[in-house]
Amino acid sequence: ETGVTQTPRHLVMGMTNKKSLKCEQHLGHNAMYWYKQSAKKPLELMFVYNFKEQTENNSVPSRFSPECPNSSHLFLHLHTLQPEDSALYLCASSQDTGQGYEQYFGPGTRLTVT
Amino acid sequence: TQLLEQSPQFLSIQEGENLTVYCNSSSVFSSLQWYRQEPGEGPVLLVTVVTGGEVKKLKRLTFQFGDARKDSSLHITAAQPGDTGLYLCAGAPTGNQFYFGTGTSLTVIP
Protein backbone atom coordinates (compact mmCIF):
# COMPACT_ATOMS: atom_id res chain seq x y z
CA GLU A 1 0.00 0.00 0.00
CA THR A 2 1.29 3.41 -0.88
CA GLY A 3 0.18 6.98 -0.36
CA VAL A 4 -3.38 7.82 0.53
CA THR A 5 -6.18 5.34 -0.10
CA GLN A 6 -9.91 5.95 0.01
CA THR A 7 -12.84 3.55 0.13
CA PRO A 8 -15.27 3.15 -1.39
CA ARG A 9 -14.35 4.74 -4.71
CA HIS A 10 -18.01 5.13 -5.67
CA LEU A 11 -21.09 5.36 -3.44
CA VAL A 12 -24.76 5.83 -4.21
CA MET A 13 -27.01 6.48 -1.24
CA GLY A 14 -30.52 7.62 -0.53
CA MET A 15 -31.28 10.67 1.55
CA THR A 16 -32.28 8.55 4.55
CA ASN A 17 -29.22 6.28 4.49
CA LYS A 18 -26.21 6.33 6.80
CA LYS A 19 -22.83 5.58 5.27
CA SER A 20 -19.17 6.23 6.01
CA LEU A 21 -16.20 7.15 3.87
CA LYS A 22 -12.80 5.86 4.87
CA CYS A 23 -9.35 7.31 4.28
CA GLU A 24 -6.02 5.74 5.20
CA GLN A 25 -2.56 7.20 4.75
CA HIS A 26 0.65 5.18 4.75
CA LEU A 27 3.03 8.13 4.78
CA GLY A 28 3.54 8.63 8.49
CA HIS A 29 1.86 12.04 8.36
CA ASN A 30 0.26 13.79 11.30
CA ALA A 31 -2.36 15.92 9.53
CA MET A 32 -5.37 14.76 7.54
CA TYR A 33 -8.01 16.66 5.59
CA TRP A 34 -11.43 16.21 3.99
CA TYR A 35 -12.25 18.22 0.85
CA LYS A 36 -15.40 18.40 -1.29
CA GLN A 37 -15.03 18.81 -5.07
CA SER A 38 -18.21 19.73 -6.96
CA ALA A 39 -18.57 20.44 -10.65
CA LYS A 40 -17.78 24.05 -11.56
CA LYS A 41 -16.90 24.95 -7.96
CA PRO A 42 -13.54 25.29 -6.25
CA LEU A 43 -12.22 22.52 -4.08
CA GLU A 44 -13.67 23.20 -0.61
CA LEU A 45 -11.84 22.37 2.60
CA MET A 46 -14.23 20.71 5.06
CA PHE A 47 -12.22 19.46 8.04
CA VAL A 48 -8.62 19.39 9.24
CA TYR A 49 -7.15 17.07 11.84
CA ASN A 50 -3.67 17.40 13.32
CA PHE A 51 -2.41 14.73 15.70
CA LYS A 52 -5.99 13.35 15.82
CA GLU A 53 -7.41 16.67 16.99
CA GLN A 54 -9.81 18.62 14.79
CA THR A 55 -8.32 22.02 14.04
CA GLU A 56 -10.63 23.27 11.29
CA ASN A 57 -14.35 22.93 10.59
CA ASN A 58 -15.32 25.18 7.73
CA SER A 59 -18.99 25.60 8.62
CA VAL A 60 -19.83 22.12 7.42
CA PRO A 61 -23.43 20.94 8.05
CA SER A 62 -23.83 18.49 10.90
CA ARG A 63 -25.00 15.78 8.51
CA PHE A 64 -21.26 15.34 7.84
CA SER A 65 -19.46 13.97 10.90
CA PRO A 66 -15.69 13.35 10.80
CA GLU A 67 -13.78 10.90 12.96
CA CYS A 68 -10.04 10.54 13.33
CA PRO A 69 -9.18 7.58 15.60
CA ASN A 70 -5.44 7.84 14.87
CA SER A 71 -3.09 9.76 12.61
CA SER A 72 -3.39 7.16 9.85
CA HIS A 73 -7.15 6.90 9.55
CA LEU A 74 -9.89 9.41 8.84
CA PHE A 75 -13.59 8.76 8.43
CA LEU A 76 -16.47 10.87 7.19
CA HIS A 77 -19.83 9.69 8.51
CA LEU A 78 -22.80 10.67 6.38
CA HIS A 79 -26.48 10.78 7.34
CA THR A 80 -29.62 12.36 5.90
CA LEU A 81 -27.72 13.90 3.02
CA GLN A 82 -29.23 16.07 0.31
CA PRO A 83 -28.87 15.69 -3.47
CA GLU A 84 -26.64 18.79 -3.55
CA ASP A 85 -24.14 16.87 -1.41
CA SER A 86 -23.34 14.74 -4.45
CA ALA A 87 -19.67 15.38 -5.22
CA LEU A 88 -16.17 13.92 -5.18
CA TYR A 89 -14.91 13.73 -1.60
CA LEU A 90 -11.13 13.90 -1.38
CA CYS A 91 -8.95 13.02 1.57
CA ALA A 92 -5.44 14.41 1.93
CA SER A 93 -2.59 14.16 4.40
CA SER A 94 0.55 16.16 5.17
CA GLN A 95 3.43 15.90 7.60
CA ASP A 96 1.96 18.80 9.58
CA THR A 97 -0.42 21.67 8.95
CA GLY A 98 1.04 24.86 7.51
CA GLN A 99 1.91 26.27 4.13
CA GLY A 100 5.29 24.63 3.97
CA TYR A 101 3.92 21.10 4.03
CA GLU A 102 2.85 19.35 0.86
CA GLN A 103 -0.58 17.74 0.87
CA TYR A 104 -0.93 14.30 -0.68
CA PHE A 105 -4.41 13.52 -1.98
CA GLY A 106 -6.23 10.24 -2.27
CA PRO A 107 -8.22 9.30 -5.40
CA GLY A 108 -11.52 10.37 -3.87
CA THR A 109 -14.94 8.85 -3.31
CA ARG A 110 -17.54 9.76 -5.93
CA LEU A 111 -20.76 10.20 -3.94
CA THR A 112 -24.20 10.36 -5.49
CA VAL A 113 -27.20 11.15 -3.29
CA THR A 114 -30.54 10.11 -4.76
CA THR B 1 -17.38 35.67 -5.47
CA GLN B 2 -14.44 33.34 -5.75
CA LEU B 3 -11.09 34.16 -4.23
CA LEU B 4 -9.17 32.69 -7.17
CA GLU B 5 -10.24 32.92 -10.80
CA GLN B 6 -8.65 30.59 -13.31
CA SER B 7 -8.72 31.05 -17.06
CA PRO B 8 -9.45 29.66 -19.45
CA GLN B 9 -11.90 27.19 -17.94
CA PHE B 10 -11.39 24.73 -20.82
CA LEU B 11 -8.53 24.42 -23.29
CA SER B 12 -8.07 21.94 -26.12
CA ILE B 13 -4.87 22.05 -28.15
CA GLN B 14 -2.83 19.93 -30.53
CA GLU B 15 0.26 18.07 -29.38
CA GLY B 16 3.34 20.25 -29.73
CA GLU B 17 1.60 23.58 -29.16
CA ASN B 18 2.42 25.97 -26.34
CA LEU B 19 -0.13 27.26 -23.85
CA THR B 20 -0.52 29.50 -20.82
CA VAL B 21 -3.14 29.29 -18.11
CA TYR B 22 -3.79 31.96 -15.52
CA CYS B 23 -4.72 32.24 -11.88
CA ASN B 24 -5.87 35.68 -10.73
CA SER B 25 -7.09 37.27 -7.54
CA SER B 26 -7.57 40.64 -5.91
CA SER B 27 -6.03 39.22 -2.73
CA VAL B 28 -2.36 38.99 -1.85
CA PHE B 29 -1.07 35.50 -1.14
CA SER B 30 1.84 34.50 1.03
CA SER B 31 2.24 31.43 -1.16
CA LEU B 32 0.58 29.83 -4.15
CA GLN B 33 0.52 26.27 -5.39
CA TRP B 34 -0.25 24.57 -8.70
CA TYR B 35 -1.72 21.06 -8.88
CA ARG B 36 -2.61 18.69 -11.72
CA GLN B 37 -5.55 16.32 -11.33
CA GLU B 38 -6.07 13.44 -13.73
CA PRO B 39 -9.47 11.76 -14.17
CA GLY B 40 -10.26 9.40 -11.31
CA GLU B 41 -7.38 10.68 -9.20
CA GLY B 42 -6.73 13.31 -6.58
CA PRO B 43 -4.70 16.47 -7.26
CA VAL B 44 -0.91 16.16 -7.30
CA LEU B 45 1.23 19.11 -6.27
CA LEU B 46 3.44 20.47 -9.07
CA VAL B 47 5.04 23.53 -7.46
CA THR B 48 4.83 26.06 -4.64
CA VAL B 49 5.85 29.69 -5.19
CA VAL B 50 6.36 32.10 -2.33
CA THR B 51 8.29 35.15 -3.60
CA GLY B 52 6.81 37.89 -5.80
CA GLY B 53 8.22 37.61 -9.33
CA GLU B 54 9.49 34.09 -8.70
CA VAL B 55 9.83 31.78 -11.70
CA LYS B 56 10.11 28.02 -11.34
CA LYS B 57 10.62 25.46 -14.06
CA LEU B 58 9.61 21.83 -14.04
CA LYS B 59 10.75 20.28 -17.34
CA ARG B 60 8.40 21.84 -19.95
CA LEU B 61 6.32 23.66 -17.33
CA THR B 62 7.16 27.21 -16.26
CA PHE B 63 5.42 28.78 -13.28
CA GLN B 64 5.49 32.47 -12.46
CA PHE B 65 4.25 34.29 -9.38
CA GLY B 66 3.20 37.88 -9.99
CA ASP B 67 5.29 40.69 -8.54
CA ALA B 68 2.41 41.73 -6.28
CA ARG B 69 1.71 38.09 -5.29
CA LYS B 70 -1.89 38.34 -6.50
CA ASP B 71 -1.63 36.21 -9.62
CA SER B 72 0.25 33.38 -11.24
CA SER B 73 0.66 31.75 -14.61
CA LEU B 74 1.58 28.31 -15.86
CA HIS B 75 3.18 27.99 -19.29
CA ILE B 76 3.58 24.61 -20.99
CA THR B 77 5.95 24.27 -23.92
CA ALA B 78 5.38 21.64 -26.60
CA ALA B 79 2.37 20.09 -24.90
CA GLN B 80 2.04 16.33 -24.87
CA PRO B 81 -1.02 14.09 -24.37
CA GLY B 82 0.32 13.21 -20.93
CA ASP B 83 -0.20 16.85 -19.91
CA THR B 84 -3.96 16.37 -20.17
CA GLY B 85 -5.71 17.04 -16.87
CA LEU B 86 -7.29 19.61 -14.59
CA TYR B 87 -4.83 22.29 -13.47
CA LEU B 88 -5.67 23.84 -10.13
CA CYS B 89 -4.11 26.79 -8.39
CA ALA B 90 -4.39 27.25 -4.64
CA GLY B 91 -3.41 30.31 -2.65
CA ALA B 92 -2.91 30.96 1.03
CA PRO B 93 -3.75 34.59 1.97
CA THR B 94 -2.58 34.19 5.55
CA GLY B 95 -2.30 31.33 7.97
CA ASN B 96 -2.38 27.72 6.88
CA GLN B 97 -5.48 27.30 4.74
CA PHE B 98 -5.20 27.17 0.96
CA TYR B 99 -8.12 28.29 -1.20
CA PHE B 100 -8.50 26.59 -4.55
CA GLY B 101 -9.55 27.96 -7.93
CA THR B 102 -12.07 26.15 -10.16
CA GLY B 103 -9.33 24.91 -12.44
CA THR B 104 -8.45 24.80 -16.12
CA SER B 105 -9.31 21.57 -17.90
CA LEU B 106 -6.62 20.89 -20.51
CA THR B 107 -6.91 18.36 -23.32
CA VAL B 108 -3.91 17.72 -25.54
CA ILE B 109 -4.88 15.99 -28.77
CA PRO B 110 -2.30 13.60 -30.28
Tens-place pLDDT, residues B66-92: 999 999 999 999 999 999 999 999 998
Check residue A88 and give its pLDDT. 96
Instruction: Give, in order, the Cα–Cα distances in Å from B48 to each of A13, A44, A77, B17, B20.
Output: 38, 19, 32, 25, 17
Burial class of residue A110, CB neighbours in 10 A (0-12, 13-18, 19+): middle
Of the candidates A75, A90, A104, A10, which has an alpha carbon nearest to the alpha carbon of residue A42? A90
Probe site for chain A from B6, B27, B96, B104 (most A CB atoms < 10 A): B96
Torsion B107-A33-B72-A101 (CA) sign = negative
Facing B97 at nearest CB: one of A40, A42, A45: A45
Cβ neighbours of A40 in B, within 8 Å: 102
Largest CA distance in chain A: 41
Is residue B2 pLDDT above 70, yes or no?
Answer: no
Percent of chain B whose predicted confidence (pLDDT) is above 70: 96
Q: What mean pLDDT value characterizes chain B? A: 93
The angle at the Cα of A94, spanning A90 to A95, to the nearest 5 degrees, equals 165
CB contact at 8 A, B43 and B92: no
Q: Is B43 on the interface with A (CB under 8 A)?
A: yes
Facing A98 at nearest CB: one of B4, B44, B96: B96
Q: Is B101 on the interface with A (CB under 8 A)?
A: yes
Cβ neighbours of A104 in B, within 8 Å: 45
Cβ neighbours of A97 in B, within 8 Å: 96
Q: How far apart are CA A38 and CA A14, in angstroms?
A: 18
Check residue B95 and give its pLDDT. 67
Q: State whether B92 and A56 contact (CB < 8 Å).
A: no
Instruction: Give, in order, the Cα–Cα distances in Å from B62 to each of A35, A55, B9, B19, B47.
Output: 27, 34, 19, 11, 10
Q: How far apart are CA A106 and CA A42, in angstroms?
A: 17
Residue type, B23: C
Q: How far apart are CA B72 and CA B83, in angstroms?
A: 19
Check residue A52 and give its pLDDT. 82
Facing B96 at nearest CB: one of A92, A99, A104: A99
Instruction: Give, in order, the Cα–Cα distances in Å from A79 to each of A16, A49, A69, B66.
Output: 7, 21, 19, 44
Q: Is B40 on the interface with A (CB under 8 A)?
A: yes
Of the candidates B61, B69, B55, which has an alpha carbon nearest to the alpha carbon of residue B108? B61
Check residue B7 and give its pLDDT. 96
Facing A42 at nearest CB: one of B45, B92, B102: B102
> Mean pLDDT across the stretch B5-18?
97
Per-residue pLDDT of chain A (114 residues; tens, 9 = 90+): 569 999 999 999 999 899 999 999 999 999 999 999 998 888 999 999 988 888 888 889 999 999 999 999 999 999 999 999 999 999 999 998 877 788 999 999 999 999
Check residue A69 and give its pLDDT. 94
